[in-house]
Amino acid sequence: MADRAGAEALHVELVAADRTVWSGDAAMVIARTTEGDVGVLRDHAPTLSLLAPAVVEIQVDGTEDVVVAAVDGGFLSVANNRVSVLSEHIDLGDDIHVDKAKAELEEARGLLGSNDEAERRIRRAEARIRAAEKVSGGSLTSSH
């Protein structure tokens, strides 16, 4: 917590509503806010921003590993070299089944226009698919 504030590395916590999904030190965090993509490095100015339903990438400190996760909106808060990504639902790329996410996307597309939830679900499913594809397709495949 506070005692880590002065440490060198960027301490990142991916926190979903019911658990901490991932936590550790990172070199860089890339996330998409409602205003556009941001990359957070060490000594970033304190920021609190709204996230879009999209992919969050964390480059793990001292390795080539990248942690990829899909978030469902939420927040990014940066202060004293501590980054918290808060979202109701967070799924790590490794845990996402592409087929399941694609089926969900199709289902949500079918509902489009009938209710407001559909658009949210589409964006969420798209983010999950992107996250899953990044993990399986990218050369920076992560293992954690």
Partner 1 sequence: MAVSLREYRARIRSTESMKKITRAMELIAASRIIKAQQRAQQAAPYARELTRAVSAVATFSNVDHPLTREEENPKRAAVLVITSDRGLAGAYSSSVIKEAERLAERLRDEGKEIDWFLAGRKAEAYFKFRSRDFVESWTGFSDQPGYDVAAEIGKALIDAFLKEQGEEGDVDEVHVVYTRFRSMLVQEPTAIRLLPLEVVEGEEPPGDAELLPLYEFEPSPSEVLDGLLPQYVVSRIFYSLLQAAASELAARQKAMKAATDNADELIKKLTRIANQARQAGITQEISEIVGGVNALADAQAAAND
If one asks whether residue 115 binds partner 1 (CB under 8 A), the answer comes out as no
Q: Quick one: which of 41, 79, 112, 140 contacts partner 1 (CB under 8 A)?
A: 79
Distances from the Cα of 132 to the Cα of 20, 44, 60, 128, angstroms: 19, 28, 18, 6
Q: Which of residues 35-74 bind partner 1 (CB under 8 A)?
A: 35, 45-50, 73-74
Does the footprint of partner 1 cover residue 12 (CB under 8 A)? no
* 19 vs 143 by CB, closer to partner 1: 19
**Please, what's the largest Cα pairwise distance for the chain?**
51
> Does residue number 116 form part of the binding site for partner 1 (CB under 8 A)?
no
Residue with tokens 């999904």: 21
30: left (phi over 0), alpha (psi -120 to 50) or beta: beta
| Alpha carbons 88 and 2: distance in angstroms, whole number | 24
Q: Which of 9, 27, 65, 77 binds partner 1 (CB under 8 A)?
A: 77
Stretch that binds partner 1, among 84-92, 103-111, 119-127, 130-138 (CB under 8 A): 84-92
Cβ closer to partner 1: 21 or 67?
21
Binding site for partner 1 (CB under 8 A): 2-3, 5, 13, 15-20, 33-35, 45-50, 73-75, 77, 79-80, 84, 86, 88
